[in-house]
């Protein structure tokens, strides 16, 4: 049995807590709000996962110290835009023997860094890893078979985490391409927003298939320029797998947010209509836009998504501009 701290009481944090509890580990969750703590501890529920029941082995606190002390692994599941601030808040509580796992998906706006690199700055003496893949919390919490990927620069850490998480319904693969694994998980959210927008505009399967296929090509181009090790990473679970499920599923926050934008809501209105959940593709679009210009990567879908989100471009005009570009070879 290992002792686990989960920083973040949203749907994904609670779903991972349920998996780890199923494996016999002791789990403590940190929540930002007193309300969520009380729902988890007293009602044995999660406000974001109404079908889930929280077992007695999972306890929630509002104190970082209570959650982090005497634990072996710290799993970070906060919204990506607050990861750096949150990690700075807990820095003095973390000891060098604790493994830190990023389970949030995103790229830091401003620095354009994947979050493993952010954590390496803040915790230079700790083992850092990433957990990613096509894994909607709603299904994981119901113990529906799911496959994910863990990645770390330290091989022993990857095998340790594979053993920690893996069970009969949660299969864990290892991929040593930590940058590629993170980028796949972050960039697919932008394409899922685009798919949602097209649904909101009334476009059908042909348009979504084109976006998924060409979006995957843009993700792999950007990943190669940024420093991903393996081209195949983007055609595995954290690339195509996560892209497919996020673009196609009704559980996808990014898809849902995109649908609202396509239906005519502003980006701000669409985010507010997610009932407290976060569409990470909004933040990722900013960082991705900076990366494609820094490394001179041709990524027209990502470019148009940036303009829709940050420059209020009309989504129909963005689709028209994408379709009327100059003639190209497919590859």
Q: Which of 37, 105, 188, 224 is catalytic?
A: 188
> Minimal CA–CA distance to 188: which of 224, 152, 222?
222
Q: Is 174 helix (H, G, I), strand (E, B) or coil?
A: strand
Burial class (CB in 10 A: 0-12, 13-18, 19+), 202: exposed
- Would you give the DSSP letter of residue 237? I
| Spatial distance between the Cα atoms of 272 and 155, rounded to a whole number of angstroms | 41
By CB neighbour count within 10 A (0-12 exposed, 13-18 middle, 19+ buried), where does 41 fall? Answer: middle
3-state secondary structure of 265: coil
Neighbour tally for 272: CB within 10 Å: 12
CA–CA gap between residue 213 and residue 311 (Å, rounded): 25
Distances (CA, A) of 58 to 12, 37, 78, 142, 162: 14, 11, 18, 16, 21
* Residue listed under structure tokens 């023997």: 97
CA distances (Å), 249 to each of 90, 140, 222, 256, in order? 34, 14, 25, 9
Q: Is 313 noted as a catalytic residue in this protein?
A: no
CA torsion sign for 178, 258, 306, 273 is negative
CA–CA gap between residue 186 and residue 225 (Å, rounded): 15
Report residue 298 CA to chain centroid gap.
Answer: 24
Q: Which residues are catalytic?
A: 188
């Amino acid at each position: 049995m290992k002792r686990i701290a989960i920083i973040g009481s949203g749907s994904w944090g609670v779903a991972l807590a349920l998996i780890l509890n199923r494996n016999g580990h002791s789990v403590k969750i940190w929540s930002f709000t007193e309300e969520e703590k009380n729902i988890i501890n007293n009602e044995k529920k999660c406000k974001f996962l109404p079908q889930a029941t929280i077992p007695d082995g999972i306890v929630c606190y509002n104190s970082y110290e209570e959650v982090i002390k005497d634990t072996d692994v710290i799993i970070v599941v906060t919204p990506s835009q607050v990861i750096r601030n949150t990690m700075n808040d807990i820095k003095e509580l973390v000891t060098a023997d604790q493994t830190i796992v990023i389970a949030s998906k995103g790229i830091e706006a401003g620095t354009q860094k994947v979050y493993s690199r952010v954590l390496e700055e803040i915790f230079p003496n700790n083992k850092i890893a990433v957990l990613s893949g096509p894994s909607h919390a709603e299904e994981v919490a119901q113990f529906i078979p799911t496959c994910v990927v863990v990645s770390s620069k330290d091989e022993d850490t990857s095998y340790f985490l594979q053993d920690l998480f893996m069970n009969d319904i949660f299969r864990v693969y290892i991929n040593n391409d930590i940058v590629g694994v993170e980028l796949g998980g972050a960039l697919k959210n932008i394409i899922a927003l685009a798919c949602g927008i097209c649904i909101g505009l009334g476009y059908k399967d042909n348009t979504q298939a084109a976006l998924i296929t060409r979006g995957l090509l843009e993700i792999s181009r950007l990943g190669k320029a940024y420093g991903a090790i393996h081209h195949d990473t983007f055609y595995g679970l954290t690339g195509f797998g996560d892209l497919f499920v996020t673009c196609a599923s009704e559980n996808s926050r990014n898809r849902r947010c995109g649908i609202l934008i396509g239906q005519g809501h502003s980006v701000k209105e669409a985010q507010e209509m997610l009932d407290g959940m976060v569409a990470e593709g909004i933040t990722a679009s900013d960082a991705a836009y900076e990366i494609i210009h820094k490394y001179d990567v041709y990524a027209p879908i990502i470019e148009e998504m940036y303009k829709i989100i940050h420059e209020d471009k009309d989504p129909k005009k963005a689709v028209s501009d994408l379709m009327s570009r100059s003639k190209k070879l497919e590859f």
